[in-house]
Amino acid sequence: MKLARKEWKGNPVSRGIAIAKVFLYEPLSFRVEKTSIPGEFVSEELDRFYGALSKAGEQLQKLYDDLCTEHPQQAKIFAAHQEILEDEELLEEVETAINQECMGAESAVEQVFDQFAQILAQVEEPLIAGRSADIIDVKKRILCILMGKKEKRLDQFEEDVIIVAHDLLPSDTATLDRNHVKGIITEVGGTNSHCAILARSFSIPAILGVDGITGELQDGWNAILDAMEGRVLCGYEEDEARVYEERRIQFDKRWQEEQAYLCKPGMTKDGVKVDIGMNIGSDHFQSEDDAYEYIGLFRSEFLYMEGEHLPTEDEQFTVYKNVLEKAQGKTVTLRTLDIGGDKTLPYMELPREDNPFLGMRALRLCFLHPDIFKTQLRAALRASVYGKLQIMFPMVGSMEDIYLAKAMVREVKAELEQEGYAYDEEIKLGIMIEIPSIALISDLAAKEVDFASIGSNDLTQYLCAADRMNAQTEGYYQSYSPAMLRILRFVFHSFASQKKTVSVCGEMAGNPKSAAILVGLGARKLSMNYASIPAVKAELAKMTIDEMEDMANHCMVLTTEEEIKRYVDM
Ligand code: PEP
Ligand code: MG
């Protein structure tokens, strides 16, 4: 019997099209009965628990080793899982449950890991809350070992599949059979969830947030996943399948062609050079790579958000030194702590504010806590002798901000000198341009700083007065509004006339169409996530500089974002 046509909508987080059979994934579920053990077996039970921990450690090490060369960012998930296995508080709680409450190892693990996961899930900060999934993932691994169950795996398929699941754990996604998994659909998960990040880095089309889909389709059904439009189809006609197959072939062909650009220099069709940079969030990144020429944004706040306390000067120094050594002489732009707004620290109480994005965020918070700021500056300056470091301040709104930040760098330099530490005396200091009040005086700012980078994500939110996190204001958040293009052009020209460099490191730089507009407006440096590099280089190579300038000039005379987007075919 033929299925009736059915369509679902979701959030496309990794672009592409897939046509394949559904593989409905229900991860291994086990009922862990609450068991108690006679007192004399406690030490045996503890041995079982620690035996399982060490086996889990071995499995995780293997997963890490298999991924670390090609996919260092993904390998990090398993390094984080290993840290969970070493979490003293967690282990002590399990031990106490076995020792004092005479619980069986399985029930102790189930109870304690669930408690920890629940506490984390309640934290508002998405990155911390996301760790709750890691704890559950590690719990399942330990329970599998204790109960002698074989993991249900997604790493080997005989035919092409689209995986449909309620959610995928980080380890499910990282070990996917990349030859046969053609698409991913889940009921939960946002654009920046582990699953979305992994799907993008493996270039597997994915749609997340398709509510209730696991209950509505069955294993083996034929499905179309359109992760351009965010659609899933079953029970479709042959004609429709042919249209999608054609689109899939076109998409894959373009993707293949773009990959050929990965290691070519960024350049317009007529040879005008555009430096392509990479954005990073830690010292795990693709090094020894011709794909990028500089690190345009090192979001140092991740270092602060991942730990359980403020990173010490030495801890920071080690990470910054690692980054510089791995960058092998390429310029590294370290952005100082950008916390506040949507980013919080679990161990540090920030002032309660009605409008945190307009409050004590980033540099303002650093001025409020000079000890934290100076610790970071000390670590950065000490590391600066190991490569080519430049320091960039976020959320700069005025010349006063620049004067004060520079004065604090001078203070720290003097302290280091007195203490006999070496640092790069010529280190460049720059600013993020992400508040209109500094963008509009960038002619003045350009005289005072060595370089700048445009944070188009925040610049859009502050220019348009539209919260970048609020789905309801999405229509007001217009990165391609005529106002935005005018302000961008002014910033490029201001810095060019002072012969100072200006880069763009917000999402606009990584979108091929807007990259071409930015170059037409005057940009010659664009920094983006690694995965965006091929498509941007391919797009730039299609047009001459005159064509890009004409396109930008035409955009400047259009009156709405909608017209601009239509004109550039976005
Ligand atoms: C930006 O605002 O564009 C930017 C690059 O910084 P973040 O997204 O980290 O705020
Ligand atoms: Mg920003």
HEC sequence for 214-251:
HHCCCCCCEEEEECCCCEEEECCCHHHHHHHHHHHHHH
State the pLDDT at residue 564: 96
Three-class secondary structure of residue 275 per DSSP: strand
| Protein residue with its CA nearest to atom 8 in ligand 1 | 457
| Alpha helices by DSSP H, 348-424 | 363-368, 370-383, 399-419
Best probe residue, ligand 1, of 127, 300, 434 (max atoms within 8 Å of C-beta):
434
**From the CB of residue 247, how many other CB atoms can be counted at a distance below 10 Å?**
17
State the pLDDT at residue 203: 85
pLDDT tier at 85 (50, 70, 90 boundaries)?
A: very high
Instruction: Please state the pTM of the whole predicted model.
Output: 0.70
List strands edge to edge, sheet with 6-9: 6-9, 231-234, 222-226, 17-25, 161-165, 181-186, 206-208, 11-14
From the list 234, 366, 464, 505, the catalytic residue is 505
| Protein residue with its CA nearest to atom 1 in ligand 1 | 455
CA distance 464 to 457: 11
Phi, psi for residue 280 in degrees, rounded to 5:
-130, 165
Closest ligand to Cα 343: 1
Q: How far is the CA of 395 from the centre of ligand 2 (A)?
A: 7
Three-class secondary structure of residue 38 per DSSP: coil
- Ligand 1 atom nearest the C-alpha of 505 is 5
- Ligand 1 atom nearest the C-alpha of 458 is 2
From the list 144, 194, 234, 555, the catalytic residue is 194
402 or 151, higher pLDDT: 402
pLDDT tier at 29 (50, 70, 90 boundaries)?
A: low
pLDDT tens column, 110-127: 999 989 988 887 777 666
CA distance 150 to 168: 17
Distances (CA, A) of 415 to 30, 106, 381: 58, 54, 11
pLDDT tens column, 331-386: 999 999 999 887 788 788 887 898 999 999 999 999 999 999 999 999 999 999 99
Q: How far is the CA of 459 from the centre of ligand 2 (A)?
A: 8
Q: How far is the CA of 271 from the centre of ligand 2 (A)?
A: 31
pLDDT beyond 80 at 1: no
Burial letters for 474-496: b for 16+ Cβ neighbours within 10 Å, e otherwise?
A: eeebbbbbbebbebbbbbbbbbe
> 167-181, 246-260, 323-337, 460-474 — which one is most confidently predicted on average?
323-337
Mean confidence (pLDDT) of the chain: 90
- Ligand 1 atom nearest the C-alpha of 507 is 3
| Protein residue with its CA nearest to atom 9 in ligand 1 | 299
State the pLDDT at residue 344: 80
Three-class secondary structure of residue 560 per DSSP: coil
Nearest to 171 by CA among 110, 265, 101, 84: 84
Best probe residue, ligand 1, of 280, 432, 467 (max atoms within 8 Å of C-beta):
432
| Protein residue with its CA nearest to atom 3 in ligand 1 | 455
Average of pLDDT values for 245-266? 93
Q: How far is the CA of 28 from the centre of ligand 2 (A)?
A: 40
Q: How far is the CA of 50 from the centre of ligand 2 (A)?
A: 44
Q: How far is the CA of 273 from the centre of ligand 1 (A)?
A: 24
Best probe residue, ligand 1, of 335, 338, 525 (max atoms within 8 Å of C-beta):
338
Backbone CA torsion sign across 355, 359, 363, 368: negative
CA distance 515 to 536: 7
Bridge partners, residue 234, by sequence: 6, 223
Contact in structure between 72 and 166 (CB atoms under 8 Å)? no
Contact in structure between 297 and 453 (CB atoms under 8 Å)? yes
| Protein residue with its CA nearest to atom 10 in ligand 1 | 458
Q: How far is the CA of 280 from the centre of ligand 1 (A)?
A: 12
Nearest to 495 by CA among 433, 437, 540: 433
| Protein residue with its CA nearest to atom 4 in ligand 1 | 455
Of 126-130, 216-220, 498-502, the poorest mean pLDDT is in 126-130
Q: Is 194 a catalytic residue?
A: yes
Closest ligand to Cα 505: 1
- What is the 3-class SS of 354-373, one letter each residue? CCHHHCCCCHHHHHHCHHHH
- Ligand 1 atom nearest the C-alpha of 301 is 9
- Ligand 1 atom nearest the C-alpha of 279 is 5
Of 116-130, 441-455, 546-560, the poorest mean pLDDT is in 116-130
Closest ligand to Cα 469: 1
Q: How far is the CA of 264 from the centre of ligand 1 (A)?
A: 26
pLDDT tens column, 212-221: 999 999 999 9
Nearest to 406 by CA among 367, 379, 443, 437: 367
pLDDT tier at 199 (50, 70, 90 boundaries)?
A: confident
pLDDT beyond 70 at 523: yes
pLDDT beyond 70 at 30: no
Average of pLDDT values for 527-541? 91
CA distance 125 to 343: 7
Find the helix or strand (DSSP H, E) in which 170 lies: helix 170-174
Closest ligand to Cα 527: 1
Q: How far is the CA of 341 from the centre of ligand 2 (A)?
A: 10
Distances (CA, A) of 334 to 145, 274, 289, 384: 42, 21, 19, 10
pLDDT beyond 70 at 456: yes
Q: Which residues line ligand 1 (CB under 6 A)?
A: 297, 299, 338, 434, 455-458, 505-506
pLDDT beyond 80 at 135: yes
Share of the chain above pLDDT 90, in %: 65
| Protein residue with its CA nearest to atom 6 in ligand 1 | 455
Best probe residue, ligand 1, of 458, 479, 487, 504 (max atoms within 8 Å of C-beta):
458
- Ligand 1 atom nearest the C-alpha of 456 is 3
The residue whose two tokens read 């389709």 is: 217
Closest ligand to Cα 457: 1
Length of the chain: 570
